[in-house]
Structure formats: structure tokens, C-alpha cells
Structure 1
């Protein structure tokens, strides 16, 4: 079980919410429930991140509409839809929009718990990747404009003399800039520098495995 994750239940059926709340609390989860999508949106600013169990059909604002609103707010919580009126087009639409799962009511205990755990694990992986990417971008932002130019050219396999020619400087200066780039990006090899460039979108994946170019 993923620690510190809250399961948010959004469903206009009070008896269903109550039953799911009991099940999840017994299973060790912290739970919050809401009688409507509007109530959830009013509370989201203070809500602890977690997984959203969302009914499809609700008065005023339905589940798919709430999913759209959360996307606009850049709230990327994992969503599991639960519905008593399941249909394939709705399920496909929800999954294409990023939902983790689409379950038909009544849902069994094991199916629900497995779906929640799977969603939380997947979400944690995405969040970790996003954090790592932000960290790399932060490191790149510490480069001076000239170091950034050297970085962009070196990871494309340009030799020091080629970089010096392009930038109108000396090879010695280029070597000094490369050294600072490696230090600031906290990498030990050319391959690691290329990997950083790929991960932040500066290079296509086809650059993987290319040899080091220095002199």
C-alpha cells in the first residue's frame, strides 16, 4: 500500500459512499467523501493528494466533466471511475483522458483494492519521473548562456574544435566550459550528459549509445 495517500470518493449515492468508506478504512486507507463534484472542487485546495474514486453520472457536474476540470487545474491525481451505467464509449473516453480504470458497480472488494493500489503505484512512478525531470531542468538553468550553447553542441557530438569554430572562441575556452557544464549538471561522463539532454527533450532517443566526442 502506498503511504499517505488519501482516497477521495465522489458519488451522489450516500449509501454507496458510506459502504466504500467503511471498506477502505478497514483496508487501511485514509478516506474523504463528497456528495458531488462541486463539493470536491470546493475542497480540493486543502485536500491531501491521493486517488479519486469518481462516479460517472451525477447531478449538475458529472464525472467526465470533473475529470476535464481537474486537467484544466493541472491536478494529476489518478482517477478510477465507478458507474452503474457502464457503456464502452464512455469508458474509452475516460481512459483516453487519463483515467486509471473504469469499473462497473457493484464492484468487488478485491477488484476495487487492486485497482486503487495499481493506480497509486502508477501515479507515484509518474510523479517521481516528473520530479526527476524538474530537477534536471533546474540544473540546466544554472548554466550560463555560453555554457548552455556548449552543452547543446557537445551532446550532439560536436568536437571541441568544431564548437570553438561555431562559437568563435578557442578550444581551450570550450574545454573550460565543458568542464563547468559537467560539474553543474552533476554528471561524470559524456554519456550521462547526453542522457540529461534526451530526458529534457533536447535530443531524440536515437542519440543513446553514441560515443564521446571531445577533441
Structure 2
């Protein structure tokens, strides 16, 4: 009899949990980004500069290959000796840049969990499901990643384009394969989003492991 009672109580408690709609999580994520604009700006900045470097590397490589294939003999002579050396060095720089990016995202989101300890505890006390909390953190990180990635892809294309035009003239625009640039821009944005989501997974998990009563007692 006791077992039946406990099971009924358990089912009743689950029934009272709040299953908030996805759009509510989206609006809450936007609100949290606005409220914590300073920290969000730092996170977006880290993504922005990492992805700017990545896209600029892609753009420089595409421009160099295009000039080697279709540029003037003078330009080919200037580019050929340095092409392989620069490419090998950039692989390490890109890897380091992306590593710093994902660590920065994870650190920012973990700090966000700590700062919002009581807030998350309040949500859980009011019946918010763990799924809602996970969605909230992943959405915040996704929005930040999207903004930083798009901005980084744009600047990472424009900056090396103008630098190379200054070096080699307008023939850079004439030989530039625009479809390939668009492809690398899309790859850059996808990489930024993947890194942003990956960096938020562990902080989101940490948030769901909070005991609501302990969180409410926490002094911040």
C-alpha cells in the first residue's frame, strides 16, 4: 500500500512540472544576453576574433592559389617561394585560435552558471524541467556564436581582400573564385556554431545538476 502511495505522489509531482515552450526559451535567452550584455559582448568578441582569423586564413589561401593559377608572372614569382611555408604555419595558428575560442566560451558559460545559481534554483523550484535549462544555455551560446561567426566571416574576408588588393592590385578581384569564398564563409559560420554549442554543453549539464534548495540558500 505504501509503495502505491509513493508511486502516486511521484507521478503527481512530475505532473506539476512546467514544460515551457521552446519559444519561451528563445525569448528568455535573448533577454539574458541583453541583461548580461558586457559578459555576452566578451564571449562574442572571443568568437569573433577567432573566426576572423580562420576566415582570413581561408581567404588568403584562396587568393594565393587563384593568383598562382591565373595571376601575372610577376605575382607568381613573388608568391611561389612562401606559399608552402605560410600554409604550414597557419595550420598551427588556426588550431590554437579555435582551442582558445572554445575554452573562452566554456569559461564564460560556467561563470554564467555560477552568477545565476539562485536564478536557476528558482526556476527548478517553480517546476522548470532540466530540458528547459539546457535549452536556455545552449540557445544563449548559439546566438552568441551566430553573431560572432557572421561578423568574423565578413571581416575575415574583407580585411585580407583589401590587403591583397593593396599588394597585387585589382587583379585579385578579377581572379577571385566567389563561390569558393562563399563556401569557406559558410564553413566558418558552421564551425563557430559548433564550437559555441560544444562549449556550452558542460555548463548546461552543471546547471541541471543543481539542487534547488541548496541553490536558494546560496549567497551570491
Which structure: greater strand fraction? Answer: 1
TM-score range, shorter chain: under 0.3
Between 1 and 2, higher relative CO (CA 8 Å, sep ≥ 6) is seen in 2
**TM-score, normalising length from structure 2?**
0.24
